[in-house]
Amino acid sequence: MAYDDLRSLLRALEREGDLKRIKAEVDPHLEVGEIVDRVNKAGGPALLFENVKGATMPLAMNVFGTDRRLLKALGLTSYAEISDKIGGLLKPELPHGFVGVREAFGKLGSMVHVPPKKVKSEQAPVQEVVLTGDDVDLEQLPALFTWPKDGGSFFNLGLTHTKHPETGIRNLGLYRLQRHDKRTIGMHWQIHKDSHNHYQVAAKRGERLPVAIAFGAPPAVTYASTAPLPGDIDEYLFAGFIQGKRIEMVDCKTVPLQVPANAEVVIEGWLEPGEMLPEGPFGDHTGFYTPQEPFPALTIDCVTMRKRPLIQSIVVGRPPTEDGPLGRATERFFLPLLKIIVPDIVDYHLPEAGGFHNCAIVSIDKKYPKHAQKVMSAVWGAHMMSLTKLIVIVDSDCDVHDLHEVAWRALGNTDYARDLTVAEGPVDHLDHASYQQFWGGKAGIDATRKWPGEGYTRDGGWPEMVESDPGTAAKVDRRWKEYGL
């Protein structure tokens, strides 16, 4: 089982020696960011800063900084547990015999526990303390000024809740939040995000949009906020699916939204149509600063929290960062779903160095000429994969996670006059390399073995790869200790 709340996870990590308490006073202006970045890149422990200058509550950092900790937080031993579970639910075969019927009912039974469960306010730890009016002071919450040219202090792990003004469909997203003053937050939601769409619809209707932001949520909920789900799939349904039990939620005090009952802190407010403030610059997960732009400014009317709350945040910047395990989880979890859209795919890899959206390495079981180009087009048409800038297609015998192997194939198997596809299309809002914002050039590399039907007509055909003699390799395996190596 995943952990029901953040603090129970932190206690477990501390028992295992994988959490370090920092009792010395630390400055959220640059100092915390420098500490966390060093510890993360060294593969170090989760950190709990107990004395953050200017704040009234502790700050948990680097909680998901290793694959081990994220897996533990989600109650998993490997990311394959969720991808296999999703793959099993997606299988279209009808059950055969008693065993098949039992397995089918087992799958249905597991789904019963997935939908979120509403609880009363007195059962919600996050509403033990309620602050309104002049008592609202966001400066009590530790926000980070991480990099020297950042435009201010930011909350980097606040889970933003909105709902579509017409359909009422809920969205949970993870966006950076700039603290403008004691009661105002900048909402950096990008044009491809559902919350941006909710705001646009509300503005056209001349309505204000209710927003609730949760900090220190249950780990499965925090992960689900990062997942690239289609707009009609509830993130809380997905969080319950991962957690293996229903997520408890409670009605907000001042806005018509629900939030995790076991979160640490929730801030509530309304976005007025057209109210914007300059937001940024910000040292983002791309490793570069994103420029200042106008974004909606949220006025906070209410803060609810536990009696002794803490805040969770992350540091982003030049990879590797805490984004790494979160991105790898998404890559593995969504493989079965991507295969439904593009069944040609055997496996895929989204390198962290590419920010998980700049490059996709895809392996296929090639069946016909130009199969690789067909898969490129299909991947670019698959939901948020449309933002991918580079797609490298390799044969199924290539390990897509071995970047040295992939580079060897891509650099050696490619005639760029024939095997390079160049196109234009949408790119990530944060992409700095495109010559104009929101769209730019893309490339696909066919690094598969080439067939005569694709125009490869050289004598002898495509050459064989160099491989060891199997018999000799087995002999050397047996005698390895004799060599004294």
Name residue 171's beta-bridge partners.
Answer: 162
Long-range contacts of residues 248-252, Cβ cutoff 8 Å, at least 24 apart: 248/116, 248/117, 248/118, 248/119, 248/123, 248/124, 249/116, 249/117, 249/118, 249/119, 250/118, 250/119, 250/120, 250/121, 250/123, 250/124, 250/126, 250/127, 251/118, 251/121, 252/210, 252/212, 252/302, 252/304
Cβ-proximal residues to 366 (8 Å cutoff; 6+ apart), any chain:
372, 395, 396, 448, 449, 451
CA distances from 50 to 16, 21, 61, 69, 229 (A): 19, 7, 11, 20, 35
Distance CA(18)–CA(35), nearest Å, equals 16
Residue 429 gets which letter from DSSP? Answer: T
Peptide bond into 142 cis (omega under 30): no
Q: Is 67 a catalytic site residue?
A: no
DSSP-based three-state secondary structure for 437: coil
Q: Which of the following is catalytic: 4, 194, 284, 431?
A: 284
Question: Do 286 and 5 meet the contact criterion of CB atoms below 8 Å apart?
Answer: no
Active-site residue list: 284
